[in-house]
Amino acid sequence: AQSVAQPEDQVNVAEGNPLTVKCTYSVSGNPYLFWYVQYPNRGLQFLLKYITGDNLVKGSYGFEAEFNKSQTSFHLKKPSALVSDSALYFCAAYNAGNMLTFGGGTRLMVKP
Amino acid sequence: GAVVSQHPSWVICKSGTSVKIECRSLDFQATTMFWYRQFPKQSLMLMATSNEGSKATYEQGVEKDKFLINHASLTLSTLTVTSAHPEDSSFYICSAETGLWETQYFGPGTRLLVL
């Protein structure tokens, strides 16, 4: 069965420090991978996606993610965190023929 | 950027009644719209995919007779929760995309509480 894991319920980081939000997936074949963000009192927003090509994908708001096939990971990263990055982040994976599966979400808290 | 609206933003209803939730793409035509359910632990589940003018494709485990989806036009999809029960209480989110695996634009969500 297809699954997406976000092993950390919450990530705490100081403003200005680099951040990483982890995601691993279990999908047969070549997966399509996505990151979404949900800010407080707002709907989900698309951040970035990996379909094919360069393993390093750049997205909105300075975020990037690296597709690592051998480790089946798609970690979300940002070189310098902002307080305004505090939100709930979802990783998702899709494989043709299967449902779009979301991870459980990771709450990012960036402290001043 | 592209905007997706949902109406209502929240609704409270009695058990046994039906509730309709609308999802509209305000400034673009959406070839495909998706309906998600967000559970209390905040994980998301894709319920169904709808394409304009055709029947929705439901994910495994989602009752199509309970969650009726109508994609009436390229800018409107509706989700009707029929004979709602307390266990249907949840946060329902729709999204829309302009092409296969193009960026998905999400609505603000609808919180449903069934008493």
- Across A9-18, B96-105, B106-115, least confident range: B96-105
Which of A13-27, A92-106, B44-58 reaches the highest mean pLDDT? A13-27
Give the model confidence (pLDDT) of B29-51 as tens digits.
888 899 999 876 567 788 998 88
Q: Please tell me which residue of chain A has the smallest CA distance to B59.
A: A99
Of the candidates A16, A39, A52, the one whose C-alpha atom is nearest the C-alpha of residue A86 is A39
Provide, as residue numbers in chain B, all residues whose Cβ is less than 8 Å from the Cβ of A36: 106
Distance from CA of A95 to the nearest CA of B (A): 12
The sign of the dihedral angle between the CA atoms of A72, A78, A82, A85 is: negative
Of the candidates A98, A94, A91, the one whose C-alpha atom is nearest the C-alpha of residue A11 is A91
Q: Where does the pLDDT of residue B77 fall: very low under 50, low under 70, confident under 90, or very high at 90 and above?
A: very high
**Any B CB within 8 A of A46 CB:** yes
Provide, as residue numbers in chain A, all residues whose Cβ is less than 8 Å from the Cβ of B45: 102
CA atoms within 13 A on the CB side of B83: 4
Query: Strands B76-81 and A101-102: what pairing?
Result: unpaired
